Amino acid sequence: MKSFNILRSFLLTFLSLTAALDAAEPAAETKPTAQGKHASSIPVPRIEKWWFALQSERIGDMAEKDIDVLMIGDSITHGFDAVGAKYWKEVFEPLKALNFGAGGDLTQHVLWRLDHLPKPKKEPKVAVLLIGTNNIGWGSDTPKQAADGIQTIVHKLQELYPTTKILVLAVFPRRADPDHPHRKQINEINSLLPDLLKDLKNVSLLDIGPKFLDEKGILSKEIAPDTTHLSEKGFEIWTRALEPELKKLLGEQ
């Protein structure tokens, strides 16, 4: 407990320092760097207290718990703590999963969070990654930049956990209408992922997005009430599609 409090104090101190730096210089989250590498592939924290508090909690979990499955993402994954809690308890808890989602994250935020974790008791057997929708939703990345950010996260996971099997989920559909610009951008991200991931060891790609859509490609409010975040029904669809894939990767089937 003492070491946890020290670490939490460190993170809060870092928050204050970073906030001061942020006030002095404009954030560069959506700008290319001088080296030509886009911000989507460069670790950066978010200057929000709740976000650091959540990271502190995850640090404690990683240091103390026996984790087989690491579920990495943004608010959609984070939603297993609330709307999807029933399915988390039913399916993911028995698989020793840790919810490593954080609402609002872009790829660069996930990279920072992965950079600031303790070494676990043992490497996770499986890491599931769903990220990228916010890079085009409220970030200003192109689909290619968002896809590059996803690939960079996969490289980071391989570096951190060399034996872990990585399952990348194609970005879920966003917006009701299949002709909405966000939907088209997400389709483009997903079209780039096979080539970006095809030669990477222990990496597979799964697209369950079509399961959320009706025969006309519409994302209904029954599945995603705000056309982005899943309802309980949406979490059920996700869980039922992911469960057999996870069990295969875990060697349970």
Verify whether residue 75 is a known catalytic residue: yes
Verify whether residue 148 is a known catalytic residue: no
Given the residues 109, 141, 229, 231, the one annotated as active site: 229
Using left for φ > 0, alpha for ψ between -120 and 50, and beta otherwise, residue 235 falls in: alpha
- 24-65 tens-digit pLDDT: 233 333 344 434 579 999 999 999 999 999 999 999 999 899
Given the residues 61, 75, 180, 207, the one annotated as active site: 75
- 147-199 tens-digit pLDDT: 999 999 999 999 999 999 999 999 999 999 999 999 999 999 999 999 999 99
Alpha helices for the chain (secondary structure H): 2-24, 49-64, 75-78, 85-87, 107-115, 133-137, 143-160, 181-197, 232-250
Verify whether residue 229 is a known catalytic residue: yes
Mean pLDDT of the chain: 88
Tell me the pTM: 0.87
- Domains in the chain: ranges and CATH: 2-250 (3.40.50.1110)
